[in-house]
C-alpha cells in the first residue's frame, strides 16, 4: 500500500502534449497579433469610434423605403432564380459525379467541376461575371448559380452514393431504360434529402444575394455599400434590419418546407 508512487495518485495526469499545444497556440496568437499590428490603443480608439457609430445608426431611417424594398425584391429574385437554376444543373452533374452509378472517367471531371465551383466565394465569382455579363442582377444570378452547383452538386452526389442498390437492380431487372432506372430506382430514394438541400441552398443564396451587390451584381448590397461609403449610417441600419428580417423569414419558411417533405424521411431512417 505504501509503495504506491505519489505520481500515481494524481487523478488527472498532466498531458504534456496538450500543454505544449496550448503554449504553441498562445505563442502563435502573440506573434500573429504583432504581425497584423493589433494594439491596445488602436482597440480603445476603435471603441470610441464604435460608440459614435452606433449613436449615428439609431434610430434607423426608413424614409427611403423605395430603394430598400426594390433592392430587397431584387435580392429575393436573384436568390430564387439562382437556386432554381443551380438545382436544375446540379441534378445531372451530381448524378455524373456519383461513383456507384458512373464509371471513373465520368466522375472525375464532374467532381473537378464541382470542386472548382465550390472553391471561390460567391462574391469573387460575381466579380468575374460582372466583367463578363455587365452590372446587374444577371451577374448575381450567374454567380450564385455557380455557388449552388458547387454546394448542391456535392451533396447530391454524396446522397446518391449512399442509396441502396437493391432497388436500382430490381428496376434494372425489369428491363427498364437508363432514364427509367434513374426516375424509379434512384430519385425516389433521395428525393426527401434533395428537398432538404434545396431549401438549405435557397437560404444560403438569400444571404449571399444581399451581398453580391457590393461588386455590382444586383440586389440590395449595392445600396448598402453606397450608404456605408456616404456615412449614411441610419439608412445602413434600416437596410441591415430589413435584411436580417428577410433572412429570418426565409429560415422559417425553409424549416416548414423541410418538415412537410421529411416526415417520411424520418420514418425511413428508423
Partner 1 sequence: MSTATLEARTWRRFTPAQRLARFAVYLAMVTAIVVSIQNIEVIPEFLLDAPEQMADLFKRMWPIAFAYYPKGVHEALIETLHIATLGTIMAAVMAFPIGLMAANNITPSRTLNAIARLLLVSSRSVNSLVWALLFVAIFGPGALAGTLAIAFRSIGFVGKLVGDAVEEANQGTIEALHAVGAPWLSVLTKGYWPQIQPAFWSVVLFRWDINVRESAVLGLVGGGGIGMALDTAMNLFQWDRVAMVLLAIFAVVIVAEIIVTQIRKRII
Residues of the shown chain interacting with partner 1 in the complex, contacts defined by CB under 8 A: 12, 25, 28-29, 32-33, 35-38, 42-43, 46, 49-50, 53, 73-74, 76-78, 80-81, 84, 115, 119-121, 123-124, 127-128, 131-134, 136-138, 141, 207-208, 210-211, 214-215, 218, 224-225, 228, 233, 240, 243-244, 247-248, 257, 260-261, 263
Nearer of residues 6 and 229 to partner 1, judged by Cβ: 229
Nearer of residues 87 and 168 to partner 1, judged by Cβ: 87
Closest distance of CB 60 from partner 1, Å: 14
Nearer of residues 73 and 165 to partner 1, judged by Cβ: 73
Q: Contact 61/235 with Cβ under 8 angstroms?
A: yes
Closest distance of CB 84 from partner 1, Å: 5
What torsion do the CA atoms of 158, 161, 164, 168 make, to the nearest 10 degrees?
A: 120
Alpha carbon distances (Å) from 138 to 20, 46, 152, 200, 205: 52, 38, 20, 22, 14
Nearer of residues 101 and 150 to partner 1, judged by Cβ: 150
Closest distance of CB 7 from partner 1, Å: 18
Q: Contact 235/224 with Cβ under 8 angstroms?
A: no
Nearer of residues 2 and 51 to partner 1, judged by Cβ: 51
Nearer of residues 101 and 254 to partner 1, judged by Cβ: 254
- DSSP H stretches of helix in the chain: 16-35, 40-57, 65-97, 104-119, 122-133, 137-161, 165-173, 178-180, 187-209, 221-229, 233-269
Nearest to 155 by CA among 97, 104, 206, 112: 97
DSSP, res 135: S
Nearer of residues 6 and 41 to partner 1, judged by Cβ: 41
Q: Contact 211/239 with Cβ under 8 angstroms?
A: no
Closest distance of CB 23 from partner 1, Å: 14
Nearer of residues 43 and 178 to partner 1, judged by Cβ: 43
Closest distance of CB 127 from partner 1, Å: 7
Nearest to 212 by CA among 122, 82, 119: 122
Closest distance of CB 37 from partner 1, Å: 7
Closest distance of CB 4 from partner 1, Å: 19
- Alpha-carbon distance of 38 to 32, in angstroms, equals 9
Closest distance of CB 16 from partner 1, Å: 17
Find all residues with CB under 8 Å of 154, minimum gap 6, and list them: 94, 97, 114, 118
Amino acid at each position: 500500500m505504501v509503495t504506491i508512487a505519489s505520481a500515481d495518485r494524481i487523478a488527472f495526469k498532466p498531458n504534456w502534449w496538450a500543454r505544449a499545444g496550448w503554449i504553441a497556440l498562445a505563442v502563435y496568437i502573440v506573434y500573429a497579433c504583432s504581425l497584423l499590428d493589433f494594439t491596445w490603443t488602436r482597440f480603445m480608439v476603435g471603441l470610441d469610434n464604435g460608440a459614435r457609430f452606433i449613436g449615428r445608426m439609431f434610430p434607423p431611417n426608413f424614409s427611403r423605403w423605395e430603394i430598400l424594398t426594390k433592392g430587397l425584391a431584387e435580392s429575393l429574385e436573384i436568390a430564387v432564380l439562382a437556386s432554381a437554376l443551380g438545382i436544375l444543373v446540379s441534378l445531372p452533374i451530381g448524378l455524373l459525379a456519383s461513383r456507384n452509378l458512373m464509371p471513373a472517367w465520368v466522375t472525375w471531371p464532374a467532381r473537378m467541376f464541382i470542386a472548382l465551383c465550390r472553391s471561390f466565394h460567391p462574391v469573387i465569382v460575381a466579380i468575374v461575371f460582372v466583367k463578363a455579363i455587365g452590372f446587374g442582377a444577371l451577374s448575381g444570378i450567374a454567380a450564385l448559380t455557380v455557388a449552388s452547383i458547387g454546394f448542391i452538386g456535392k451533396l447530391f452526389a454524396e446522397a446518391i452514393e449512399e442509396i441502396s442498390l437493391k432497388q436500382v437492380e430490381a428496376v434494372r431487372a425489369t428491363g427498364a431504360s437508363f432514364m427509367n432506372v434513374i426516375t424509379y430506382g434512384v430519385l425516389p430514394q433521395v428525393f426527401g434529402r434533395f428537398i432538404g438541400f434545396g431549401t438549405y441552398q435557397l437560404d444560403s443564396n438569400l444571404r449571399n444575394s444581399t451581398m453580391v451587390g457590393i461588386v455590382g451584381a444586383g440586389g440590395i448590397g449595392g445600396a448598402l455599400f453606397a450608404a456605408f461609403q456616404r456615412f449614411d449610417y441610419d439608412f445602413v441600419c434600416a437596410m441591415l434590419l430589413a435584411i436580417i428580417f428577410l433572412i429570418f423569414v426565409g429560415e422559417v419558411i425553409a424549416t416548414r418546407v423541410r418538415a412537410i417533405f421529411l416526415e417520411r424521411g424520418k420514418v425511413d431512417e428508423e
